[in-house]
Amino acid sequence: MTTQRFPIRIGRRSAAALRLAFGAGSENAWAEVGDGRLVIRFGRATFVTELANLDSWRIEGPFHWITAIGIRRSIRHGDVSFAGSPHGGVRIDLRRRVRLGPFSVPAVWVGADDLDAFAAALAALGVPGEDARRR
């Protein structure tokens, strides 16, 4: 299987803050699917799980800037987002939780630059999903 890489959008206004806080820039902020796994890299952080662990995806957004950028963990649900812009994200629900540092993560958000192409790649792998922006 071919590996596909999808850059995470880094907003012009947030680029300096993301570089300082997370070490994230256009060269090291991406999501990759292939070789049986999903890999998300955002600066100094890396998240990895098997493709078989992906349950579903959902595109949502745009979001408010202050609540969207960086690596964020939802207090309510425990999901983690990797985003550099408020333009939207693809939520990926996991079949079983994955450790990320001290946290057990049930879902991840990816602020891919091309949300549609990233979701299409997941769908091509047999992961079901929906685009909530088109409701």
The pLDDT tens digits of the residues spanning 113-125 come to 999 999 999 999 9
For residue 18, tell me if it sits in a domain: yes
H or E, element range at 15: helix 15-22
Determine, yes or no, domain membership for 111: yes
At residue 103, does pLDDT exceed 90?
A: yes
- Answer whether residue 92 is part of any domain: yes
Contacts of 15 (CB under 8 A, 6+ apart): 25, 84
Res 64: pLDDT? 87
- Number of domains forming the structure of the chain: 1
Residues spanned by the domain of 105: 4-126
Whole-number Cα distances in Å, 29 to 77, 102, 104, 115, 134: 24, 22, 22, 14, 27
Give tens-digit pLDDT for 54-94.
999 999 999 988 778 999 999 899 999 999 999 999 999 99
Please indicate, yes or no, if residue 55 is contained in any of the structural domains: yes
State pTM to two decimals.
0.94
Is 134 among the domain residues? Answer: no
